[in-house]
Amino acid sequence: MFVDSSVILNAIFETQLTELARKVIESNEPKITSDTVIDEVYLVVLKKVLLPESRSTRGLKRLLKKDVKAREKAGELLALVLGSIHAMGIVVVGDAKWDAVGELVSEYGLLSHDVRILATAIEYGCERLATLDDDFKVVKDLVKLVPGNG
Residue ranges of alpha helices (H) inside the chain are 5-12, 18-26, 35-50, 57-66, 68-87, 98-108, 112-123
pLDDT, tens digit, 9 for 90 and up, residues 59-74: 999 999 999 999 999 9
State pTM to two decimals: 0.92
Split into its structural domains, the chain has a count of 1
Average pLDDT over residues 1-24: 96
Distance CA 55, CA 77 (A): 15
Closest CA to 121 of 11, 9, 12, 31: 31
Residue 150 has pLDDT above 70, yes or no: no
The predicted structure's pLDDT at residue 103: 84
CATH code: domain of residue 112? 3.40.50.1010
CB 111 within 8 A of CB 135: yes
Residues of the domain holding 76: 2-146
